């Protein structure tokens, strides 16, 4: 096939995702209100209890609000990725997933298009959130907002691929609520999104070890460093590798003969 | 696409299924199914719920794979030549698959893109298909506001946008009133005659079979009969297709 049909396919999938997003205003509002509540309510309260000491990549003592912004960016992407795969489960029941999968393009390409589409939607949410935070006074260096882009792409693919993989394993919509509880919350709370790792270590060594192994921690650190114009090699390598592994597993999960689709009848 | 491949596709039947078997959890759903459908042929796949109709469609469209048997579309193997095979299939699924929040045009553009069409090409093809079904005016209407019959026709229009050689319809009349059902059956026959597209129409409703249709009776994953509606009842010495069907299924249960 020539390259242009592939681009048309990508345009179609991304265009549809953006249109759906625009039509679901309540989803956009919820996606925005959630991190803002954390920022304005939770962080304000905790600022009194938890001053954050100087820690990389920050060059001065920072307020707690400043610390949790990258974690909340990760949270937006985590929820969006899971919601997008929730819609995959829903779509599959409604049948529009089938429309995607009977396209003549290879399945791996279709799934990557779908992931890219949901990642772009999450980027829109993130930048709107950061604009509000900026107006509130939480301002990162200008270039940081640019360096953030590739970090968001990697995180979006990581959580999106995880969601896809889960959606290939779960057939019933009801089961997905369980996934929210057993995947989203642990991933978010057992990470460096809310507290620096060294502080978690002071509290509990076990929780610290889990948080250090959690790929979401590395995604959040990648985002944090990028926003402050720094490159955290370790975080980037781990995040990219985890994203690649999850993507490969998700593609395998949607393979008609080897994956779960064949066994469960999708 | 090279010309040799194109020629091959013209010469071969629209659909060939050879010795196809499939099982869920070791429970057989389809057993050694073999059938062929020629270009421009209208074929009704008749069978009760659970006969294996949807599974057959899933295997043809490669939503699932089977290691036993072969499916070819215009000569192209759905597993080894998936791109060419898929490009020649149009599908109307049992469940509605249009996005209710998007307009008719947006839904059709999405489908066109999934077949590698530019926006302009998708739009002109969509327009042609919508004009044929008399819904050109509704291009900008949200799907949510269309009637059930209109939605089905839009789905058929969508399935034909990429000029497939085989159109699969999986119980497309589910949930429609009698008049819309009759219109839809009529519409599909017309397409078959005018476009030369082969149609495989799955249903459990005998009254959707018309004189002259070729009928395949599928029951518990096996093909019990294959032939024109009239000869089927003649062969079994009964008056109507309904009786023929009851006889076939009854023998199977005995």
Q: Which one, of B57, B81, B83, B75, lies nearest residue B15 by Cα?
A: B75
Spatial neighbors of A137 by CB under 8 A, at least 6 apart, are none
Contacts of A101 in chain B (CB under 8 A): 63
Q: Which helix (H) or strand (E) holds B231?
A: helix B229-236
Chain B interface includes A94 (CB < 8 A): yes
Query: What is the number of alpha carbons within 13 Å of residue B122 lying toward its C-beta?
Result: 24
CB crowding B185-220: b at 16 or more within 10 Å, else e: bebbbebbeebebbbbbbbbebebbeeebbbbbbbb
CB B132 within 8 A of CB B157: yes
Instruction: Using CB atoms, pick whichever of A6, A96, A103 lies closest to residue B99.
Output: A96
pLDDT digits (tens, 9 = 90+) for A2-44: 678 999 999 999 999 899 888 888 878 888 999 999 998 888 7
CB B200 within 8 A of CB B166: yes
Task: Name the CATH superfamily, with its identifier, for domain B3-88+166-253.
Answer: P-loop containing nucleotide triphosphate hydrolases (3.40.50.300)
C-alpha B26/C-alpha A131 separation (Å) is 56
How many whole angstroms from its chain centre is CA B249? Answer: 23
C-alpha B84/C-alpha B62 separation (Å) is 13
Contacts of B109 in chain A (CB under 8 A): 12, 15
Burial class (CB in 10 A: 0-12, 13-18, 19+), B23: middle
Considering its fold, how many domains does chain A have in total? 1
The whole-angstrom distance between B154's CA and the closest CA on chain A is 14
Q: Which one, of A84, A156, A148, A152, lies nearest residue A116 by Cα?
A: A156
Spatial neighbors of B209 by CB under 8 A, at least 6 apart, are B44, B46, B203, B215, B229, B241
User: Domain of A236?
Assistant: 3-264
Q: Which helix (H) or strand (E) holds B70?
A: strand B68-73
Q: Which one, of B28, B75, B38, B33, lies nearest residue B57 by Cα?
A: B33
- The dihedral through the CA atoms of A133, A136, A141, A143 has a sign that is positive
The whole-angstrom distance between B65's CA and the closest CA on chain A is 5
Contacts of A14 in chain B (CB under 8 A): none
How many whole angstroms from its chain centre is CA B70? Answer: 18
Q: What is the mean pLDDT of residues A177-181?
A: 75
Chain A interface includes B113 (CB < 8 A): yes
Q: Does the pLDDT of residue A262 top 50, yes or no?
A: no
Record the tokens describing residue A173, joined without a space.
Answer: 């919509």
pLDDT band at residue A182 using 50, 70 and 90 as cut-offs? confident
Burial class (CB in 10 A: 0-12, 13-18, 19+), A146: exposed
Alpha-helix runs per DSSP H in chain A: 3-23, 25-37, 43-49, 64-94, 96-101, 107-136, 142-169, 174-179, 185-189, 197-203, 205-213, 215-227, 233-253, 260-264
Give how far Cα B204 sits from Cα of B60, B106, B230, Å.
19, 32, 18
Spatial neighbors of B194 by CB under 8 A, at least 6 apart, are none
Give how far Cα B213 sits from Cα of B22, B193, B201, B219, Å.
27, 12, 10, 19
C-alpha A255/C-alpha A105 separation (Å) is 13
DSSP B122: H
CB B188 within 8 A of CB B201: yes
Contacts of B24 in chain A (CB under 8 A): 263, 265
- Find the radius of gyration of the CA atoms of chain B: 18
pLDDT band at residue A50 using 50, 70 and 90 as cut-offs? low
C-alpha A189/C-alpha A211 separation (Å) is 9
Residue B199 phi, psi (nearest 5): -120, 130
Determine the pLDDT at residue A171. Answer: 65
Spatial neighbors of B92 by CB under 8 A, at least 6 apart, are B152, B155, B156, B159, B167, B168, B169, B170, B172
Determine the pLDDT at residue B235. Answer: 77
SS3 of residue B40 by DSSP: coil
Q: Does the pLDDT of residue A82 top 50, yes or no?
A: yes
Has the ipTM of the complex gone over 0.90?
A: no
CB B202 within 8 A of CB B173: no
Give how far Cα B39 sits from Cα of A50, B8, B43, Å.
74, 13, 11
Q: Does the pLDDT of residue A258 top 90, yes or no?
A: no
Whether A99 and B111 lie within 8 Å, measured CB to CB: yes
pLDDT digits (tens, 9 = 90+) for A233-243: 999 999 999 99
Mutate to test the interface with A, among B21, B84, B110 (most CBs of A within 10 A): B110
pLDDT digits (tens, 9 = 90+) for B116-155: 999 999 999 999 999 988 899 999 999 999 998 899 999 9
Q: Does the pLDDT of residue A175 top 50, yes or no?
A: yes
Cβ of A99: how many Cβ atoms within 10 Å?
22
Per-residue pLDDT of chain B (254 residues; tens, 9 = 90+): 444 444 454 568 999 999 999 988 788 889 999 999 999 899 999 998 889 998 999 899 988 888 789 999 999 999 889 889 999 999 998 888 898 889 999 999 999 999 999 999 999 999 999 998 889 999 999 999 999 889 999 999 999 999 999 999 999 988 888 888 898 899 899 888 888 899 999 998 888 888 889 999 999 999 988 999 888 878 777 777 888 888 888 787 76
pLDDT digits (tens, 9 = 90+) for A189-246: 999 998 899 888 988 999 999 999 999 999 999 999 999 999 999 999 999 999 999 9
Higher pLDDT, B1 or A55: A55
Q: Does the pLDDT of residue A88 top 80, yes or no?
A: no
pLDDT band at residue A174 using 50, 70 and 90 as cut-offs? low
Whether A104 and B99 lie within 8 Å, measured CB to CB: no
DSSP B145: G
Query: What is the number of alpha carbons within 13 Å of residue A104 lying toward its C-beta?
Result: 24
pLDDT digits (tens, 9 = 90+) for A127-158: 999 999 999 999 999 999 999 999 999 999 99
Contacts of B115 in chain A (CB under 8 A): 5, 103-104
Chain B interface includes A177 (CB < 8 A): no
Q: What is the mean pLDDT of residues A105-117?
A: 93
Mutate to test the interface with A, among B59, B88, B113, B126 (most CBs of A within 10 A): B113
| Domain regions of chain B by residue span | 3-88+166-253, 99-163
């Amino acid at each position: 096939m020539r390259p242009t049909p592939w681009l048309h396919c990508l345009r179609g999938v991304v265009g549809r995702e953006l249109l759906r997003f625009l039509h679901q205003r309540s989803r956009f509002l919820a996606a925005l209100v959630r991190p803002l509540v954390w920022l304005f309510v939770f962080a304000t309260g905790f600022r009194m209890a938890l001053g954050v000491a100087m820690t990389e990549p920050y060059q001065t003592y920072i307020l707690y609000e400043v610390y949790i912004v990258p974690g909340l960016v990760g949270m937006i992407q985590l929820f969006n990725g899971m919601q997008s795969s929730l819609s995959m489960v829903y779509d599959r029941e409604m049948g529009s997933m089938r429309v995607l999968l009977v396209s003549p393009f290879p399945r791996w390409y279709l799934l990557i298009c779908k992931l890219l589409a949901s990642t772009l939607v999450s980027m829109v949410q993130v930048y709107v959130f950061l604009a509000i935070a900026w107006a509130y006074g939480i301002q990162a260096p200008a270039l940081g907002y640019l360096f953030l882009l590739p970090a968001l792409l990697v995180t979006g693919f990581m959580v999106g691929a995880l969601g896809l993989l889960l959606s290939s394993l779960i057939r019933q919509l009801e089961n997905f609520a369980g996934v929210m509880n057993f995947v989203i919350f642990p991933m978010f709370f057992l990470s460096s999104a809310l507290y620096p790792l060294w502080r978690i270590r002071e509290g509990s060594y076990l929780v610290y070890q889990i948080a250090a192994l959690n790929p979401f921690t590395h995604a959040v650190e990648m985002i944090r460093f990028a926003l402050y114009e720094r490159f955290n090699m370790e975080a980037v390598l781990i995040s990219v590798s985890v994203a690649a592994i999850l993507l490969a597993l998700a593609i395998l999960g949607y393979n008609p003969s080897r994956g779960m689709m064949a066994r469960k009848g999708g | 696409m090279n010309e040799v491949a194109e020629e091959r596709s013209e010469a071969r039947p629209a659909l060939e299924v050879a010795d196809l078997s499939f099982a869920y959890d070791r429970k057989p759903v389809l057993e050694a199914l073999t059938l062929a459908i020629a270009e421009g042929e209208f074929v009704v796949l008749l069978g009760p719920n659970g006969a294996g109709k949807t599974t057959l469609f899933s295997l043809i469209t490669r939503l699932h794979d089977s290691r036993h048997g072969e499916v070819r579309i215009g000569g192209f193997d759905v597993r080894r030549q998936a791109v060419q095979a898929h490009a020649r299939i149009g599908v109307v699924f049992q469940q509605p698959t249009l996005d209710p929040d998007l307009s008719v045009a947006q839904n059709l553009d999405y489908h066109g893109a999934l077949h590698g069409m530019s926006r302009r090409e998708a739009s002109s093809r969509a327009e042609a298909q919508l004009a044929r079904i008399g819904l050109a005016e509704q291009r900008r209407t949200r799907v949510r506001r269309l009637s059930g019959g209109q939605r089905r026709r839009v789905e058929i229009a969508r399935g034909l946008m990429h000029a497939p050689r085989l159109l699969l319809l999986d119980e497309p009349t589910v949930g429609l009133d009698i008049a819309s059902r009759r219109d839809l059956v009529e519409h599909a026959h017309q397409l078959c005659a005018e476009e030369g597209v082969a149609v495989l129409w799955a249903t459990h409703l005998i009254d959707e079979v018309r004189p002259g249709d070729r009928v395949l009776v599928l029951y518990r994953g096996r093909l019990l009969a294959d032939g024109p509606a009239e000869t089927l009842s003649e062969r079994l010495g009964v008056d109507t297709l309904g009786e023929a069907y009851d006889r076939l299924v009854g023998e199977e249960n005995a």
